[in-house]
Amino acid sequence: MTHVIGVDLGGTKTAAGVVSPAGEVLMSETIPTLNRAGGEAILDATAALIAGLVERAADAGLSVSSVGIGSAGVIDASSGTVVSATDAILGWAGTELVSGLSSRLSLHPSAVRAVNDVHAHALGEAWLGAAAGSSSSLMVAFGTGVGGSFVLDGAPVLGHRFVGGHVGHFASPYAAFDGTPLPCVCGGSGHVEAIASGPAIYESFLRFGGSAVDAADTRDVFALAASEAHDGGATAGSAGDRAAALRAIGVGAAAAGQAVGGLINVLDPETVVISGGLADAGELWWKPMEFALRQELLAPTVSVPVVRATLGNTAAIVGAAKLVLK
């Protein structure tokens, strides 16, 4: 069996690797995504990245036959085109990802496949990561946004319009303040992402009276929450900051857990994988998340394993590679 290239094309950087049939990433490289330069320039740079890896693989005596891509945006996996994308990558919508890369690389179009990066991420974890060996898994990532994918019998459920897995965009009882649903980046309101994402936790912190001077971002909020309660010289402000930080994290984590718990009742996956920056933020977030999650579960699902993602940054590369590995 030949090796393949897996590509993880995100809003800020594009990583690619030579992946063995067993899923090992043997060599990899990362470049900035030319997110202001338009689709054709990105295709040029990505093709060059891939070509360089193919050459390195050849030097090592490895033949590479095909390319799998996980890309930001809504990706039509049938035609290999970018259906829509946010402004994180200008001019990405409409790009013919598969045909553009295959022609640049002189590959047959059938040797190149593309899906959304979250779908690739979930497939990687399902194949070789935290859900390896499970016949179905639900991966939910909590970070800058909230996204996920349900992987069934070795394939991510892409959805009819290729937006399956937008698990950040359903109603959360927590996503309201003073009785008003919080605005969501999708244009809707009251969604899980509006209270459970990293940026949402920072906004909750400010809403709960935390000081923007003492915490500039979500990471600072976690640092404040983890700090020992001040004694003696502490100002009222810093004690209030810590309370606001703890509350913001608690609410975000509870909303996250409640959402995942409800999805477990709907999808009944064998294994649940939690990923993203917040999953890596430690017990402060994980404990209230898992507590809220377990409260939601129907009796037959109470023993569902809920585990942290294990592949880190290589998940999407490995998952993208899996698309084209036989």
Sheet holding 25-32, edge to edge: 25-32, 13-19, 3-9, 64-71, 112-116
| Residue 52 vs 262, nearer CB to its own copies | 262
| Residue 162 vs 222, nearer CB to its own copies | 162
- Find the length of the chain: 326
User: Closest separation between CB of residue 79 and its own copies, Å?
Assistant: 15
User: Closest separation between CB of residue 6 and its own copies, Å?
Assistant: 24
Pairing of strands 306-308, 271-275: parallel
Q: Is 78 in the site for its own copies (CB under 8 A)?
A: no
User: Closest separation between CB of residue 157 and its own copies, Å?
Assistant: 7
User: Closest separation between CB of residue 164 and its own copies, Å?
Assistant: 4
Distance from C-alpha of 307 to C-alpha of 132, rounded to nearest angstrom: 11
| Residue 188 vs 199, nearer CB to its own copies | 188
Per-residue binding string, its own copies, 166-195, x by CB under 8 A, is: xx-xxxxx-xx----x----xxx-xx----
User: Closest separation between CB of residue 5 and its own copies, Å?
Assistant: 28
Determine the residue type at 82. V
148 bridge partner residues: 140
Distance from C-alpha of 184 to C-alpha of 180, rounded to nearest angstrom: 12
Report whether 269 contacts 134 (CB < 8 A).
yes
Q: Which residues contact 293 (CB under 8 A, 6 or more apart)?
A: 256, 257, 258, 260, 261, 264, 306
Per-residue binding string, its own copies, 200-219, x by CB under 8 A, is: --------------------
Report whether 70 contacts 141 (CB < 8 A).
no
Distance from C-alpha of 318 to C-alpha of 129, rounded to nearest angstrom: 10
Per-residue binding string, its own copies, 134-153, x by CB under 8 A, is: xxx-------------x-x-
Size of the site for its own copies (CB under 8 A): 50
Distance from C-alpha of 204 to C-alpha of 197, rounded to nearest angstrom: 10
Per-residue binding string, its own copies, 218-257, x by CB under 8 A, is: ----------------------------------------
218 Cα distance to chain centroid: 17
Q: Is 163 in the site for its own copies (CB under 8 A)?
A: yes
- Considering only the stretches 17-25, 222-230, 294-302, 310-318, report the one whose residues sit in contact with its own copies under the rule CB under 8 A: 294-302
Q: Quick one: 12 exposed, middle or buried, by C-beta within 10 A (0-12, 13-18, 19+)?
A: exposed
Binding site for its own copies (CB under 8 A): 74, 83-84, 134-136, 150, 152, 157-167, 169-173, 175-176, 181, 186-188, 190-191, 258-259, 261-263, 265-270, 295-301
